[in-house]
Structures are given as structure tokens and as C-alpha cells.
Amino acid sequence: MEKKITVRVGLSTCGIAAGGNKTYEKFGEMIFERGLSVHLEKTGCIGLCYHEPMVDILTDDGSIYTYGAVTEDKVASLIDDHIIGGRVISDLLINEDKSKVTARQVRISLRNCGLIDPDSIEDYVNADGYKALQKILNDMTPDKVIDEITASGLRGRGGAGFPTGFKWRATRQSPGSIKYVVCNADEGDPGAFMDRSIVEGDPHSVVEGMLIAGYAIGAQEGHIYIRAEYPLAILRMQKALDDAKKHKFLGENILDSGFCFNLKIKKGAGAFVCGEETALIASLEGKRGMPLLKPPFPAQKGLWQKPTSINNVETFSIVPWIIREGAKKFASFGTAKSTGTKVFALAGKVNKGGLVEVPMGMSLRDIIFDIGGGIQGGKKFKGVQLGGPSGGCLPENLLDTPVDYDSLVQKGAMMGSGGMIVMDETTCMVDMARFFLNFTKDESCGKCIHCRLGTKRMLETLVLITEGKATAEDLALLEEIASNVKEGSLCGLGQTAPNPVLTTLRYFRHEYEEHIFDKKCRAKVCKSLLIFTINEKCIGCGACIKRCPVNAITGERRKLHVIDLEKCVKCGNCIEACKFDAILVE
């Protein structure tokens, strides 16, 4: 019985949300109670969010048993049956599914996520961490580092896909002795959580990436701009910075090389537009986060007017791997123009939602159906939204599109930060466009008129359509404003805000037309177009009457009930209340 066993509990935000903390505590209590010599540790997100809370049991023969849905109440049986009794609990074991989902993934950015304890610098170092830093300090000139990154073909993972090596070179070549490195961890795309998972699961990889960037461009100071909505990520990053400093990976005279570099965390205060470089800089300087005209680019005049290189979390986390393994190896993954891998946050109506990292160029179909396990409840796939509010929605006949920067732009979508929201037949495309416009309207900083007013007008038009009050002219107006907003906005937010509308118009125009001309919403989402009635399945139980907030339902007991359409507010409470499928929605 005295075998060395390690229990690893996934404690990323998603794991904690599913109850991971309670599971972790319970393990701690029971291991103590039973007097077991079991090593308990926490780890980040392995990406299989639908199985959370997840627990790995590692035995000394090197086997890993991964269990899913280990809520607090299941801990006892895991300890008694598996750890003490040596019997695997096959009901909860997810090894097979895990290998199926991860088989086609290549984990570069997520190489340590879900495997190491994010709070342990020793774990990171044991996983070859900070080796890339040592390598550059010992054997590489800054120019050689930039050459290597350029040769790898790495492009910014934050959305626009600008070549990282080029950005670093430009910053290096800008005159001046004070330069800055900034990490953009202001992941504002609603539906994307890759950056959060990386910072929560492997913060040191980002720190090391920033150190390498600092060395390459000649900066002594860096800032990490993290969303305040990610408290756990901030906590773990702060711990990583403190530990790195203690181990002389950060601070003055790093590893006795003479290279000095300091890092600070700045908490974002909640503004989507701050994902834009110049707006982010304004925010770092304590101003309203409003974008500026480029040029000058941040590489020329950035933070405090000094040359600044801003890169995304995922980009930084990849950098140490490239330095360690070589540009050639990185470029061997992906396509010619989009090298390497990309992390996607797969969510929506997909069976196996979570984080996946795949080589660029994999088809949408492979990601959604092969890795993601297809659509929930066996429903029909309708579309997939890529790149969040700035991206576009692609239909079924484009499922074979390879996922790389250029192919997506060509189809009207974009890589964005990597959010991938899958939609089925119960999603209304007009409503989706309205949802995104509502978001961008709220987040528009107000500097450019086209964006400020255009997004509002577009939203109003979309609302009219979803209410069945629009005409054919409104559709034309929508298209006109969309192209104007694209043309007339300074920054990426405005330039891309119309994308969800334009792509849904391009690929799902029939749904718009149905709303306008037939006053119908095929997905049964747009309330104003729905009519609630009660059919003959009704047994007259009165359950719906009790639940109706506006007393719109009448009827005697054991007799067919009726909904007063004048009073009905279409809240759907009656559908929930009815156990006999008697409420009909059309």
C-alpha cells in the first residue's frame, strides 16, 4: 500500500466553478484522516472543461488515471476504491475520451497547462522552464533571437496576426534607450478564455516569453495588463513574478548575465477597446482607453512615448518553446503563412467544450466534430462564430475551411483571439448579430462618429428586424451603415464591428428575409414573432396558470386551457411548467 501516489486536481476558474475547490479540500481532509502518504497538488486547465471537476491519480508505475465530474461526494470512493483498494472506478474514468480529444492536438502554448502546479516555479523549471532564457543569455545576441522568432513565422495570437519578429525588430531599431514590453492579457472577447487559462495554468511561460522579448528589443521594464475580472489569473501571475524574482530569473542582473528586467501587473478596468494597442497604452498611462491614429506605431512611440512592443499572452507563452526547440520545428506545424498552433476556446452548442490547441490549417469540421464531438443533443449544426464580436459567422458549407489567418479573412471571419462558438438550429442568426452589435455598441469608445453612431443605428435596425417591424429598405440601410462603419473607424473595434452582421447577411440572408417578410423566426428565439398556444395534449392541470406572471392563461380544471394572446408576454414560463408538451410555440 505504501506506493507513491499523486493526486492532481484541476483548479482553473472553470474547475473551481464546477466545484473543484471543494473536491480539493475534501481530498486534503480525507488523505489526512486516513493517514495516507499521498501527494496532493493542484494544476491548471487541461482543456476538457465539460469533464470538470477533474482529478488525475498518478501512480508510481507512471500511469495516469483521469477522472471526470469528481464532485466532493465522489472523493471518498476514489480514495477507498482506487487509492487504497487499487480498483479503478470505470464509471468516472475518462482516460479514453481524454486521449480521443487530445489525439489530434499539438500542445505548444498549453504544454504545461493541466500538468504542472501553476504556483510552483520548481514544477515549471522541471518542465524545462527558463531554459530558453538561459540559452539566449548564454549563446544568443538580441538580433539572433529576433532572427529565430522571425524564422519561425510566429504571428500575433491576439487577433490581427501581425508577425511577431517584425514587431520586435521595429521596436529594437527605434532610437532610444528606454523601451517597454507589454503583455496584453485583457481578454475581452466574450466567449474566449485561452489567455486566462494560460495565465492560470502556466504563468511562468508568459513571464519567460516577456523576458526573452525584453532581451531581444532592449527593454528593462514590462507591464502585464490583465483584466480585473480574472482575479485568479492576477493572483497566480503575481506569485509567479515574486518567485521568478527570488530565483533571479527576474530583476537586476538576471542569472549573472548583466541583463536587467522588471515586470509589473496592471489591472485592466473593463473596456473591450483596450485590447487595441494604442488604447491599451492610454489605459496604462491612466487615461480613458481611446485609440490613437497609427503611425506612429507603438514600436516607434508607445508607452510614455517610448518604443513599445505589445504582444498577446499566447504569443509570449509560445516564444520560450521556439527558442528551445527551434524555429524550424515550430514552422513544421501549420501552414506556410500561418505557422505553428493556435489555441481555441470551443464553446456553445458543442458536446465537448473546452480549450483545444491544434496545428493551424485544420478544418473547422475536424475541430468541431472530431475533437469537439459534434453538436449537443444530436441537433443540426447551423454556424460557428469565430473571433468574437469582431469576427464572423460561417455556415455549414464552409466547414471544410482550413483555420488559418488568411483563409478566415477571405471568408469574412477572422482568427481573432480564438473564440469558437458553435451554434445549432435553435440559434437565431439575426439575434446573434444583434447580440454582438449590442456588445460593440456598448464598448465603442465614442471617438469615431461612424463607430459611435453607426453601431447604435445598426443595433436599432437589427432590433426592428427581430421584432418583425423592419422593411426591405431597412436591410439595405443595414448593409450601407455596415460598410460605412468599417471604412470610417480608426481602430479594429469599429473596423470589425460590422463583421457579424455582414457575415450573417452573406450566409444566412434567408433568415433576415424570413423575419422581415414572413414575420417568422425559425429558431424560435425572437419573442415578438412567436405565438404561444395550448394544444389538445393539455389535461387541464393548472400548472401553467400558476406560473403565468401576467394571468394570461385561463381554463377550468381538467379542461383545455387557453392563452390570451393579448396579455401573453411570451416569457416561456408555461413551457417549463407544462409536463405534457401542451404548449405550442410558432
Partner 1 sequence: MSTICDCYDKNGFSYCTIDEVLQKYSYDGNSIIPILQEIQENLGYVPKDSIEYIGGKLSVPPARIYGVVTFYTQFRLKPRGKHSVMLCVGTACHVGGAEKISDCITEELSIEGGETTDDGLVTFEKVACIGCCSLAPVAIVDGETYAKLTPDKTRKIISKIKNSK
Provide the minimum distance between the beta carbon of 487 and partner 1 in the complex, in angstroms, as a whole number.
25
Residue placing its CB nearer to partner 1 in the complex, 250 or 271: 271
Beta strands in 102-238 (DSSP E): 180-185, 221-227
Residue placing its CB nearer to partner 1 in the complex, 163 or 572: 572
Q: Which of residues 247-266 bind partner 1 (CB under 8 A)?
A: 266
Which residue, among 322, 339, 406, 333, has the nearest Cα to 147 in the 3D structure?
A: 322
Residue placing its CB nearer to partner 1 in the complex, 320 or 388: 388
Q: Which of residues 230-249 bind partner 1 (CB under 8 A)?
A: 230
- Asked if the bond preceding 231 is cis, omega within 30° of 0, the reply is no
- For 471, other C-beta atoms within 10 Å of its C-beta total 12
| CA distances from residue 584 to 139, 298, 521, 563, 564 in whole angstroms, order as listed | 72, 57, 14, 11, 14
Sorted by sequence, the CB contacts under 8 Å of residue 505 that are 6+ apart come out as: 475, 478, 479, 482, 512
**Does 585 help bind partner 1 (rule: CB under 8 A)?**
no
**Does 413 help bind partner 1 (rule: CB under 8 A)?**
no
Residue placing its CB nearer to partner 1 in the complex, 66 or 339: 66
Provide the minimum distance between the beta carbon of 62 and partner 1 in the complex, in angstroms, as a whole number.
29
Q: Which of residues 109-138 bind partner 1 (CB under 8 A)?
A: none
- For 354, other C-beta atoms within 10 Å of its C-beta total 23
Region binding partner 1 by CB under 8 A among candidate stretches 97-105, 189-197, 398-406, 484-492: 189-197
Count of residues interacting with partner 1 (CB under 8 A): 53
Cell of 175: 532610437
Helix (H, G, I), strand (E, B) or coil at 402: strand
Region binding partner 1 by CB under 8 A among candidate stretches 3-11, 115-123, 250-258, 282-290: 282-290
Residue placing its CB nearer to partner 1 in the complex, 163 or 190: 190
**Does 386 help bind partner 1 (rule: CB under 8 A)?**
no
Q: Which of residues 352-381 bind partner 1 (CB under 8 A)?
A: 353-354
**Does 272 help bind partner 1 (rule: CB under 8 A)?**
yes
Are 334 and 358 in contact, with CB atoms under 8 Å apart? no
Amino acid letter, 46: I
Q: What is the DSSP string of 272-340?
A: GGGGSHHHHHHHHTTS------SSSPTTTS-GGGS-EEEEEHHHHHHHHHHHHH-HHHHHTSB-SSSBS
**Does 423 help bind partner 1 (rule: CB under 8 A)?**
yes
**Does 553 help bind partner 1 (rule: CB under 8 A)?**
no
Provide the minimum distance between the beta carbon of 295 and partner 1 in the complex, in angstroms, as a whole number.
24
**Does 193 help bind partner 1 (rule: CB under 8 A)?**
yes
Provide the minimum distance between the beta carbon of 287 and partner 1 in the complex, in angstroms, as a whole number.
7
Region binding partner 1 by CB under 8 A among candidate stretches 207-215, 246-254, 359-367, 430-438: 430-438
Helix (H, G, I), strand (E, B) or coil at 460: helix
What angle, rounded to 10 degrees, do the helices at 142-152 and 203-217 form? 120
The rounded distance, in Å, linking the Cα atoms of 25 and 132 is: 36
Site string for partner 1, 52-81 (x = CB under 8 A): x-----------------------------
Provide the minimum distance between the beta carbon of 373 and partner 1 in the complex, in angstroms, as a whole number.
12
Provide the minimum distance between the beta carbon of 125 and partner 1 in the complex, in angstroms, as a whole number.
28
Provide the minimum distance between the beta carbon of 196 and partner 1 in the complex, in angstroms, as a whole number.
5
Cell of 353: 467544450
Residue placing its CB nearer to partner 1 in the complex, 129 or 353: 353
Region binding partner 1 by CB under 8 A among candidate stretches 96-104, 347-355, 465-473, 506-514: 347-355
**Does 219 help bind partner 1 (rule: CB under 8 A)?**
no
**Does 390 help bind partner 1 (rule: CB under 8 A)?**
no
Q: Which of residues 471-510 bind partner 1 (CB under 8 A)?
A: none
- Asked if the bond preceding 163 is cis, omega within 30° of 0, the reply is no
Region binding partner 1 by CB under 8 A among candidate stretches 45-53, 125-133, 238-246, 249-257: 45-53
The rounded distance, in Å, linking the Cα atoms of 40 and 446 is: 50
Segment (H or E) for 407:
helix 405-410
Q: Show the DSSP H helices in 3-158 as ranges.
A: 13-17, 20-33, 75-77, 95-102, 121-126, 131-139, 142-152
Region binding partner 1 by CB under 8 A among candidate stretches 97-105, 122-130, 340-348, 533-541: 340-348
Provide the minimum distance between the beta carbon of 150 and partner 1 in the complex, in angstroms, as a whole number.
33
**Does 17 help bind partner 1 (rule: CB under 8 A)?**
yes
- Asked if the bond preceding 402 is cis, omega within 30° of 0, the reply is no
| Cα angle 209, 203, 264; round to 5 | 75
**Site residues (vs partner 1, CB under 8 A):** 13-14, 16-18, 49-50, 52, 188-193, 196-197, 228-230, 266-267, 269-272, 283, 285-289, 345, 347-349, 353-354, 385, 388, 419, 421, 423, 427, 432, 435-436, 439, 445, 549, 571-573, 576
